[in-house]
Structure 1
Amino acid sequence: MTDHRIVGRYDRPMRLPTDDALGIGLGSVADVVFGDPRRGHPVAVFGSGVSAVEKWMYDDSRPRGAAFAVGWIGVGTAAGLIARRAGAVGAAAATFTALGGTSLAAIGDRIADALDAGDIDGARTLVAGLVGRDTTRLDEAGICRAAVESIAENTSDATVAPLFWGAVAGAPGMLGYRAANTLDAMVGYRSPRYQRFGWAAARLDDVANLAPARLTATLVGVAAAQPAAVWRSVRRDARLHPSPNAGVVEAAFAGALGVTLGGRTVYAHGTEDRPTLGDGPAPLAADLRAAVRLSRRVQRLSAALAVAAQFRRRR
């Protein structure tokens, strides 16, 4: 008798209900232990592909830019769907790929170390890797302001947001979000080249970060020594910022640290006079170190919440 094997859904690898929770937890721990790899990071590979396609697809139009953005977000989401088939290992790999909080905090510490050592040029070079503004003429206060604002925004963008979308949709959510955020960082500028082509990428990133930015501000309030100052700063100042999301997290950090953020910001494409956020003096190296500690606390809280949310929804 011939042994006819029935092929169907029962031949697929078994997926346990807690795979996503376990994978998010393992990926978060891996980010703490290893940080971003210096070579071969999947996000860097993704960025290289985006740059290559942009060269032949670019056109000064919103429809072309929208197709570009949606296509690449689809690539990220598809990678997440493939990762999902690998169970907890795939979820862990997606989480590690999507997170960048540990490396963010490490750069903040290195900038503060350079300032404490009197190496203003070294600090300018380091902060230039975090921000898109012109850093060549920044003094200590300007460097610390740029670094604190970036740490605030990227605590949301590089940790809370991917974990939020991981809690909502697992690996596809994390990698789809990471694709949207990477596109925004590459083409979402208000420069003459990207004013129209990058419009869709910037708006999609804004939408994807609406809930995570407000969750980040809430977690800052939970982690801060003076939560009332956080809520006051967010309620009063966040709406003044041109970004619907960066203003929320920057105001939260300003309130938690007791410093003032915002003000005149010089970019390659022009100068912006940003509204001031928070109360107190301009941040210095000690405040930058406090921002790094606060970011790490928020990162741990968001990882714990994501694991708990996935575990609960899979029960």
Structure 2
Amino acid sequence: MAWQRTLSLPTGCLVKVDEHRAVVELPRTGVARRSSSSSSSGDSIGGEPTEGWNAISSAIWNGGSRSFRCRSSTSNSNSNSNSRSTSNYSNSYENKVCVFNYKVPCTYDGLSPEPRALLRTAIGKERYSSNSYCDEKKGNSDNNSNNDNDNGNGNNNNNNNSLDDKSTVGIMTAASMKSLRTASRSAGGIFVDVVVTAGISNSRTAGADADVFSMLPQQQDERNTGNDSKSSNNKTTATAPQEHQPRAPPPGTINTVVVINGAPLSEGAVVEAYAIAIEAKCAACADFRLPCAKSLYGNDLAQGTGTDCAVLLTPLASPHSTSASTNSTNVPLLEYAGKHCLLAELIGQAVREATREAILSNLIHLHGSLWRYHGHRWKTYFIGLLLRGARPCVPPKPMDSIPPAPLAVLLLGWGMVLVAYGIHVLSPFLLPRSATVLIAATFWDRCLPEPPLSVHPVVLAGTVISIATKQWIPERIFRSPFLGFCGGVLFLLGTLSLFASGAHLFLVAVRWAAVEAATATIGSDDNNIYIFQQHLMKFVSWLLEVMLFKTTFSLQLLCTIALQMARFLERSQLQDARNQLVWLCSRDPTHLGSEDLAGGTLESLSENLSDGTVAPWFWYIVLGPVGALGYRVANTLDSRIGYRGGRYEWFGKASARFDDLINLVPARLTALALVAAAAVSPNNNCSAKRGFATSWEDCSQCSSPNAGWPMGAMAGILGVRLEKKGEYALGKNIPDVRGPTPRDIRNGHHVAQLAGGIAFVAALVACCVKEWIYGVD
């Protein structure tokens, strides 16, 4: 097949390209300076034939640090200089050093076939077309003459036309070969050529989340961990469907080939030059502000892709070449290639130029124009800020501080809060006050940090409960069933009354202050001051109501902790995962394994979705911010004293039963929201039908009348068994049920996020319906 493009580069390299591959052929004359006697238009390379080429690369085939010898089998040591200065492409292909860039289908998963085997097969089958550059230079008559003088037979000649896998560096890409770009620089007799192909759909930043979590190859990992067919772990792996295995990253690779000719480099200079090439590629990515495809917020910039390869080739140095002397061909050894050196400038400029042009061609192919790409980038950036929220990482220990959110996330959060207030002011008949408070509080939860713990109402409730039960209540009340139950009822009513009345007085006070501030400025001579103060106090009153309501729920923190658990378990960091589980539940994680930790995370994710988000929203719709806060206080009472047995057996019974009562409706609504989320989720691993059936059948296994509904729905949706030994085993009757994995946590997180969105829309509609029907805001 004819090559679509053939490029001759100043270093003497020949680049041949078609839609399936690109081959970079290196010249035999490795130490290459332009001959002073060459023609003015000539690109001929003078100098002695080289011993070969040094290569340092991250290539799949013949990667690492290697030396390739390229002595011709047809040449002899008595050849004169004229015979050595013939065309660089006249030697047989088996003696050429080449870089083979092979295009794989976009559906290739990097596993089957194995990449090295795939490349070796492709290299072995490679045949050069009859109208290649070499044949064009010689002509058909010369070819016939050479064939007549060839000592080998026809089969040997065919073998010579194949790429030699021992002297070929093999790399792969899923990017189109139409993106191939070249750039050249030269100075002082040193030539630098760069060949780049670029795909960007697999963009990554350094330190981005991994896609593959096994350090060792699968076969070696199995040998190290044992292959006991009776072990439960292997049973789980065997029964797990293929879709639950880690997904391959999307296609996209930036392949960079750098050829330096004119002088050999020292070992240190080779490493420096390779580093310069990598940094120049990163600079080209930064020029377009390529976003990382796995960025936590969508605003991390990529420095390349997850499968980039770079190949640097330099002439082999003569054994006698040093920095202080020259070899027999008067070619010095370049000992430095740092950023202060001219060689680094040549490499950096050439790599950056070629990479920029290759990336630009890919962007235009994907988006149509550069302007559309930037529009898509900004849209993705803002959506990423909104969807991912403010908390990049939750520390394993609950008492450690949560890292602050980036400034861009904070600005977006405050901007959305102001938008919600603008809707409240400009369109009061479109959305009632309660709906705008709900919108603002939800965006606050997504993008802004929690209020300080010193003024957090739920934290204050927990503190009051702890102090009262330890210091104020006599011990004999806890020992008597009758006194304990009666005292528990009074304590429940007193605590609820204290915080509900306090919240009500707080809201009345801030609204009264807003009205008073407005009326106090009616007589003011300056109408602008009056208007400003009036709107300021209204905004402060509305914002304080938003803050009070926000303290009653937390969806973003819950989902962030679940994702952090998945990260720890994927990396086998079990101790960190055990510490993290304390954020979610009170279960003792000391002896829990990976499967138990994953199951505990999914159970807490689904149950806390009900207790921590859906239920507060439900009671907010019914009774306003005071109702939401009252629910949270009752829920805190249940978590502190609502235990079976022990000191609070009778004292906490009223709180536990009251918590069961107020969660009857929200728990079942949460299960329906999870099922609806699974129905609309594009994830094929989630089954809404199975989730509804499991929730209905297994809800009675839990001692709580409510916890089994959302947990059973989550177990059925994911097709996993959620078990607490001695108490319940949700989903045990699901066909081909298996234990939960970190991948299931990520799928469960996705479903929980969707369920939260569905619950938010339903709550928003309910606020509007309540206002339109009852006229109560």
TM-score by length of 1: 0.88
Q: 1:147 to 1:122 in 2, by over 3 A?
A: same
Instruction: Give the counterpart letter for 2:674 in structure 1.
Output: V
Matching residue of 1:26: 440
Residue 546 (structure 2) aligned to one of 89, 92, 98: 92
Mapped contact 1:19–1:91 kept (Cα < 8 A) = no
Q: 1:224 to 1:137 in 2, by over 3 A?
A: same
Structure with higher helix content:
1
Q: 1:38 to 1:262 in 2, by over 3 A?
A: farther
Structure 1 segments unaligned to the other structure (5+ residues): 1-15, 265-272
- The alpha carbon displacement at 1:42 in A equals 2.7
Return the alpha-carbon distance in structure 2 between the equivalents of residues 163 and 83 of structure 1.
Answer: 20
Offset from partner CA, 1:83-109 (integer Å, 9 cap, x none):
543464344223211012111111111
Mapped contact 1:153–1:250 kept (Cα < 8 A) = yes
Offset from partner CA, 1:156-197 (integer Å, 9 cap, x none):
000000001111111111011011111111111113111111
Q: 1:104 to 1:67 in 2, by over 3 A?
A: same
Return the alpha-carbon distance in structure 1 between the equivalents of residues 767 and 665 of structure 2.
Answer: 17
- The alpha carbon displacement at 1:37 in A equals 4.5
Instruction: Give the counterpart letter for 1:50 in structure 2.
Output: I
Return the alpha-carbon distance in structure 1 between the equivalents of residues 757 and 578 of structure 2.
Answer: 29
Mapped contact 1:120–1:139 kept (Cα < 8 A) = yes
Return the alpha-carbon distance in structure 2 between the equivalents of residues 84 and 308 of structure 1.
Answer: 23
Between 248-257 and 51-60, report the one with greater CA deviation: 51-60
1:66 matched to 2:485? The reply is no
Cα RMSD over matched residues?
1.9
Return the alpha-carbon distance in structure 2 between the equivalents of residues 149 and 194 of structure 1.
Answer: 25
Return the alpha-carbon distance in structure 2 between the equivalents of residues 67 and 83 of structure 1.
Answer: 24
Matching residue of 2:712: 251
Structure with higher strand content:
2
- The alpha carbon displacement at 1:136 in A equals 0.1
SS of residue matched to 2:728: coil
Return the alpha-carbon distance in structure 2 between the equivalents of residues 291 and 82 of structure 1.
Answer: 40
Q: 1:192 to 1:184 in 2, by over 3 A?
A: same
SS of residue matched to 1:124: helix
Matching residue of 1:46: 461
1:165 matched to 2:622? The reply is no
Instruction: Give the counterpart letter for 1:302 in structure 2.
Output: A
SS of residue matched to 2:604: helix
Return the alpha-carbon distance in structure 2 between the equivalents of residues 215 and 203 of structure 1.
Answer: 19
1:180 matched to 2:180? The reply is no
SS of residue matched to 2:723: coil
Mapped contact 1:116–1:285 kept (Cα < 8 A) = yes
Q: 1:184 to 1:83 in 2, by over 3 A?
A: same
Q: Which has more radius of gyration?
A: 2
Q: 1:46 to 1:57 in 2, by over 3 A?
A: same
Q: 1:154 to 1:65 in 2, by over 3 A?
A: same
Instruction: Give the counterpart letter for 1:49 in structure 2.
Output: V
- The alpha carbon displacement at 1:129 in A equals 2.4
Return the alpha-carbon distance in structure 2 between the equivalents of residues 252 and 94 of structure 1.
Answer: 31
Matching residue of 1:12: none
Mapped contact 2:569–2:742 kept (Cα < 8 A) = yes
Matching residue of 1:313: 770
SS of residue matched to 2:625: helix
TM-score by length of 2: 0.37
What is the percent sequence identity of the aligned residues?
Answer: 32
Offset from partner CA, 1:111-158 (integer Å, 9 cap, x none):
111111221000000002211121100000011111111111000000
Offset from partner CA, 1:222-245 (integer Å, 9 cap, x none):
001422111110121112221100
Mapped contact 2:566–2:745 kept (Cα < 8 A) = yes
Matching residue of 1:11: none
Structure of greater relative contact order (alpha carbons < 8 Å, 6+ residues apart): 1
- Write out aligned runs for 1:269-280 (5 A): 273-278=726-731, 279=734, 280=737
Q: 1:95 to 1:300 in 2, by over 3 A?
A: farther
- In the TM superposition, structure 1's runs of 4+ consecutive aligned residues that sit over 4 Å from their partners are none
1:101 matched to 2:558? The reply is no
1:142 matched to 2:596? The reply is yes
Matching residue of 2:695: 234
- The alpha carbon displacement at 1:308 in A equals 1.5
Matching residue of 1:263: 724
Q: 1:48 to 1:167 in 2, by over 3 A?
A: same
Return the alpha-carbon distance in structure 1 between the equivalents of residues 764 and 544 of structure 2.
Answer: 15
Residue 75 (structure 1) aligned to one of 498, 502, 505: 498
Matching residue of 1:57: 473
